[in-house]
């Protein structure tokens, strides 16, 4: 199991961003996108992020986010342990990990 600490923010209802922590079973070659998919499908369907269906080929860059303080594509960034996931800085947050302009 790993702990995924996810930045949550809905400008319509939240005054500021906050973190929510989820326990996720770690699988070999698991990506950040796999972690987000697991959370959405099994733990919290309210999580907002750009899913696999948007691209999954490193072309669109819509899944670009900050993982453990480093920018990367969720569809290709492998997970090896606990992670903190934030939206990219300097972009307006639409909701949770979805930002305007990508």
Instruction: Kindly report, residue by residue over 26-36, the tens digit of the pLDDT.
Output: 999 999 999 99
For the ranges 5-9, 30-34, 58-62, 88-92, the lowest mean pLDDT is seen at: 58-62
Q: Tell the residue number behind the tokens 């900050």, with chain if given.
A: 66
Which pLDDT does position 52 carry in this prediction?
A: 67
Domain assignments of the chain as residue spans, ordered by start: 2-99
> What predicted TM-score, i.e. pTM, was given to this entire model?
0.91
Q: Mean pLDDT score of the chain, rounded to an integer?
A: 91
Fold designation for 2-99: Ubiquitin-like (UB roll) (3.10.20)
Q: How far is Cα 34 from Cα 32, in angstroms, rounded to an integer?
A: 5
Q: How far is Cα 50 from Cα 97, in angstroms, rounded to an integer?
A: 8
Q: pLDDT digit string (tens) for 53-78?
A: 555 565 667 889 999 999 999 988 99
């Amino acid at each position: 199991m790993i702990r995924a600490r996810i930045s949550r923010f809905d400008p319509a209802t939240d005054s500021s961003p906050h973190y929510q922590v989820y326990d996720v079973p770690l699988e070999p070659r698991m990506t950040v996108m796999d972690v987000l998919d697991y959370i959405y499908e099994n733990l919290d369907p309210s999580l907002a992020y750009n899913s696999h269906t948007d691209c999954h080929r490193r072309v669109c860059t819509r899944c670009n986010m900050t993982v453990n303080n480093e920018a990367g594509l969720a569809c290709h960034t492998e997970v090896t342990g606990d992670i903190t996931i934030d939206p990219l800085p300097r972009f307006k947050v639409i909701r949770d990990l979805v930002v305007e302009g990508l």
